[in-house]
Amino acid sequence: MVPFIDLRGQYRDLKPEIDAAVLRVLESGQFALGPEVAEFEREYAAYVGTRHAVAVNSGTSALHLALLALGIATGDEVITTPMTFIATAAAIRYVGATPKFVDIAPDTYTIDPALIERAITPRTRAILPVHLYGQMAAMDDILDVANRHGLPVIEDAAQAHGAKDAKGRPAGSLGRAGCFSFYPTKNLGACGEGGILVTNDDAIASASRARRDWGQSARYQHTLLGYNYRMDGIQGAILRVKLGHLERWTEARRAHAGRYRTLLGEADVRLPYERPGTRHVFHVYAIRSTQRDALRRHLDATGIQTGVHYPTPLHLQPVFADLGHRRGDFPVAESLAAEQLSLPMFAELTAAQIRDVAVAVKAFEHVVA
């Protein structure tokens, strides 16, 4: 069997370091925030290249805090993409605003900058691009539109730890705020839930630090309506360990993607596109097939696990039915949703496993012939 991801294997590789980090927190008795979280914030801000990092309990919480810090509220609109995990649009709804969807580019699957301007209305208050599958959205083009209209940009970088654009700028560092998830399956994953907001804006950082801890400016002094969004000390300690391995893991993922590209070059599937000069970190290795569901059943029968990211775009989800969208409104996203298939991708994947996956994908052509 080739697993889709192997979290147990990652833990076995890092067991002495992780066990020591957890024990350090247990012995300190500081389980909510604390020095390990503070050090992780400092280290992650340095990694991304921002002045501030505010650790929280999930990527969704980071998005929520960023929107709140920018004053986005009921009656406002936030432009985003329908091809993403629901957390992106859910966070917009949490502040009472409305997600305004824009279709994706047909090559990168990130929001199409050419379509953003026509979606702007007098109610638009922000643009929220998603760096999907590990590839950054076209941030220069997005920022050009945003700057012309005086709109802040929040980067949903939940799938893009370590990704860079063609100028070498890290994901999360270009907008007013960047939001990352440390869900266990992410390229940098906690042993549980976690997230972080990064920013160069002192006011956003200050408000987000207060709101994550019940809006406190000092103990029992509540200046803002806050939330219990604190990161656990154990997660901070574990993430500090894993951050030290992230670059090695990223290069492994990129090498795996190169091997897939070579072995699947003549297969009847569409391979991922990487914008020239950028650093795609391959959170998932997303191929496309017009016979996606049959191919997935075939791979499952041969012991190869796969994923679909995502089978129903957000504008067609029942929870957003009140927005009035219909099938056909965002055809590029809908086409991707019908054809996308994620192959096994994790740092510890072996060359033999990749070969087995490629052989099985190419064998499918003979099965259906």
CATH number at residue 359: 3.90.1150.10
In this prediction, residue 366 carries a pLDDT of: 66
pLDDT tens, 239-291?
999 999 999 999 999 999 999 999 999 899 999 999 999 999 999 999 999 99
Residue in 68, 66, 64 with CA at minimum distance from that of residue 87: 64
Question: Within a domain: residue 107?
Answer: yes
pLDDT tens, 9-19?
999 999 999 99
- Show the domain range for 299: 246-368
45 and 178 housed in the same domain? yes
In this prediction, residue 282 carries a pLDDT of: 98
Angle subtended at Cα 133 by Cα 151 and Cα 37, rounded to the nearest 5 degrees: 75
Question: Within a domain: residue 1?
Answer: no
142 and 183 housed in the same domain? yes
Residue in 337, 342, 331, 305 with CA at minimum distance from that of residue 134: 342
Q: Which of 186, 220, 243 is the last residue of a domain?
A: 243
268 and 234 housed in the same domain? no
CATH number, domain containing residue 207: 3.40.640.10
Q: pLDDT > 70: what percent of the chain?
A: 99
Give the number of other Cβ atoms within 10 Å of residue 237's Cβ: 27
179 and 252 housed in the same domain? no
210 and 279 housed in the same domain? no
Q: Which of 194, 228, 243 is the last residue of a domain?
A: 243
149 and 94 housed in the same domain? yes
14 and 137 housed in the same domain? yes
Question: Within a domain: residue 69?
Answer: yes
Cis, bond preceding 310 (omega within 30 deg of 0): yes
Q: Which of 243, 269, 296 is the last residue of a domain?
A: 243
Q: Indicate the average pLDDT of the chain.
A: 97
Domain count, the chain: 2
* Stated length of the chain: 369
pLDDT tens, 145-167?
999 999 999 999 999 999 999 99
310 and 254 housed in the same domain? yes
In this prediction, residue 186 carries a pLDDT of: 98
Q: What are the CA-CA distances from residue 124 to residues 82, 121, 128, 139, 149 (Å)?
A: 17, 5, 11, 18, 9
186 and 264 housed in the same domain? no
234 and 256 housed in the same domain? no
Confidence of residue 133 (pLDDT cuts 50, 70, 90): very high
Q: What value does the mean pLDDT take over residues 314-323?
A: 98
Structure tokens at 72: 């986005």
67 and 156 housed in the same domain? yes
The residues, ordered by sequence, that sit 6+ positions from 143 with a Cβ below 8 Å of its Cβ are: 153, 174, 175
Q: What value does the mean pLDDT take over residues 346-358?
A: 97
Question: Within a domain: residue 2?
Answer: no
In this prediction, residue 369 carries a pLDDT of: 56
160 and 94 housed in the same domain? yes
In contact, 189 and 242? CB cutoff 8 Å: yes
In contact, 320 and 314? CB cutoff 8 Å: yes
Cβ burial 266-283 (10 Å sphere, 16+ → b, else e): ebebeebebbeebbbbbb
Question: Within a domain: residue 116?
Answer: yes
Amino acid at 84: T
Question: Within a domain: residue 345?
Answer: yes
Angle subtended at Cα 99 by Cα 94 and Cα 100, rounded to the nearest 5 degrees: 165
